[in-house]
Structure 1
Amino acid sequence: MYDVIVLGGSFAGLSATMYLARSRHRVLLVDAGQPRNRFTNASHGFLGQDGKAPATIREAGRAELARYDNVGFLDGTAVDATTEEDGFTVVMADGNGVRAKRLVLATGVTDILPEIDGLSERWGRSVLHCPFCHGYEYRDRPLGVLATGPASAHQGDMIPDWGPTTYFTQGQFEPTPEEQARFSQRGVTIERTPIAKLLGDEPDLEAVRLADGRELPLAALFTATRLTMASPIAEKLGCEMEGGPQGPILVVDDQKQTSVTGVFAAGDATMPMHSALLASSSGMIAGVCAYRSLVA
């Protein structure tokens, strides 16, 4: 039996594993190999890692963890987990089970993209969710905001700091009079005809074609996706969730403890605001607090 199993091998899971490794407890890192950031070729805003590919950062982190003789690795997908008297059993897709006294869920979220021709092929490259992560690379070029809900107006307020902005309502998400006033102050153009197709050599974006046939030049398109849990494990364990602005969020306390004793969680699934740095820091807290629960 391991002391802790960490589910998820991206920034949150790697950080949790590092602190558990240094506590000299036996820890197993389970990685399905499908991180949310696999679609992008660069991570930004992460001090010391700015501009590096997420895959490169993950590989370096895993190589660092491999130097600890108390860390094990299991590549595969966890499909179930149950609570036992002395801990937890995690069941893998191949039917094998692994056991631990504590769990750290760093399983992340999955983006549900708007269904527009040419959009999914550009996700993470020229169709983006965060201007702090990717906006600087598209500065001073024509940018768009694809509205997916009332909260999209917040992006409409932000994006003009990076370049001239068009706000696409898709004929569904009309800004309020107050939002329209702010857009006017910020120089945002409101386009009510829906985007029908994204144009250019993938994954780059050159323009969008509207439903009426017009084409508007764009270098990047920002949008807020809907989110769902990337793994069923939290739900199977009975962890409490709450509604977030884009989808469900795992409820954790200041110690990253979920509503199920002994199950900790970190990363994008636990917060409405997402970045590599936030994921890594929350993983560190979850790892330290999982350790503290073992020795308390």
Structure 2
Amino acid sequence: MESNQYEVIIIGGSYAGLAAAMALGRSLRKVLVIDAGKPCNRQTPHSHNFLTQDGKTPFEISSVARAQVEAYKTISFYSDTVISASKSDPGFLIKTNDGSTFSGLKLIFATGIKDILPEIPGIQECWGISVIHCPYCHGYEVRNEKTGILANGDFGFEFGKMITNWTKDLTLYTNGKSTLTSEQSEKLTSKKVTISEKKISQIIHQDGKIQSLVFEDGSQEKINALYAKPDFEQSSPLISELGCALKENGYVEIDQFHKTNVPGIFACGDNTNMFRSVAFAVSSGTMAGAACNKELIDESF
């Protein structure tokens, strides 16, 4: 096999991609991991809810993971962004931003998603630090503190109901007219959840830690944390360009073995499900790598 030809090319080298690479490295497969080095959680100060790694920084976890994966000599790494991917015979042809080309029999997309944050000054700087997405990842650290939720409608109701488990000092910010039903509003209010329809104009923060919310009417409210679930899109448009189907919610459609609808292409990690945590990403990547190896065995036997 030539130097630029691989059995599997993994696009994305964060937790899911590294887990897939480890499974394949331990299966003696020649693998290339291509990664641009910009994980979605790079602003997050600490990672939680992952046994043996609770409280470590994302960089600490990924650095150890990278070193362990590099120990498998059949795995190579390339630092760049993949700009095109096409079917070839056999497998797939990959081109990176610097003009390099690689071919692989199988592809694994571990490319994650791209958050589309509301156009509120300050929210980007706070994202992953004090504007948070998941109570299982971050809720314990802001337990019993003055907390907000940026949401509306059915989702706002369900999110509000959930976060009452972590704090009783809770405000649901609908950021404009509430679309909650009267029954939903009454239920939240009965549980001491405040509902605010004021439009947020700015988030005042110190190094990503929220100090207060500023509203269009000029008023301010101090809070310590704000839950939000922004819209998103797939980080890599190549997934759709290759014909991989997306579900209605925007995630890549996969089967139980992380196969997409396109033969030879697998997907794992945040691009496939809403459970954005290191633990889920590692589990997802391990399954994708193992299933990919099994497919290679079946095709050559």
TM-score by length of 2: 0.94
Q: Structure 1 residue aligned with 2:81, among 67, 73, 77?
A: 77
Q: Structure 2 residue aligned with 1:68, among 72, 75, 79?
A: 72
Deviation, structure 1 residue 172 = 3.8
CA distance in 2, matches of 1:277, 1:149: 30
Q: Secondary structure at the match of 2:210?
A: coil
Q: Secondary structure at the match of 1:37?
A: coil
| Alignment coverage as a number of residue pairs | 293
**1:159 aligned to 2:159?**
no
Question: Which residue in the other structure is 1:93 paired with?
Answer: 97
Deviation, structure 1 residue 274 = 2.1
Which stretch shifts more, 114-123 or 171-180? 171-180
Question: Which residue in the other structure is 2:175 paired with?
Answer: 170
CA distance in 2, matches of 1:172, 1:7: 42
CA distance in 1, matches of 2:292, 2:152: 37
Deviations 1:174-215 (A, max 9, x none): 211232133123211001111221123231112111222221
Give the 3 Å change call, closer, same or farther, for CA 2–252 of structure 1 in structure 2.
same
CA distance in 1, matches of 2:114, 2:177: 24
**1:208 aligned to 2:201?**
no
The one-letter code of the counterpart of 1:37 is N
Q: Structure 2 residue aligned with 1:112, among 95, 111, 116?
A: 116
Query: Is the Cα contact below 8 Å between 2:129 and 2:209 reproduced in 1?
Result: yes
CA distance in 2, matches of 1:269, 1:131: 20
Which stretch shifts more, 29-38 or 143-152? 143-152
Which stretch shifts more, 223-232 or 170-179? 170-179
CA distance in 2, matches of 1:272, 1:205: 25
TM-score by length of 1: 0.96
Q: Structure 2 residue aligned with 1:123, among 123, 127, 130?
A: 127
Q: 5+ residue gaps in structure 2? A: none
Deviation, structure 1 residue 35 = 1.0
CA distance in 2, matches of 1:172, 1:13: 42
Query: Is the Cα contact below 8 Å between 2:12 and 2:109 reproduced in 1?
Result: yes
Deviation, structure 1 residue 134 = 0.8
CA distance in 1, matches of 2:179, 2:153: 9
Question: Which residue in the other structure is 1:47 paired with?
Answer: 51
Give the 3 Å change call, closer, same or farther, for CA 149–102 of structure 1 in structure 2.
farther
CA distance in 2, matches of 1:261, 1:35: 27
Deviation, structure 1 residue 47 = 1.0
Q: Structure 2 residue aligned with 1:263, among 262, 265, 268?
A: 265
Query: Is the Cα contact below 8 Å between 2:126 and 2:205 reproduced in 1?
Result: no
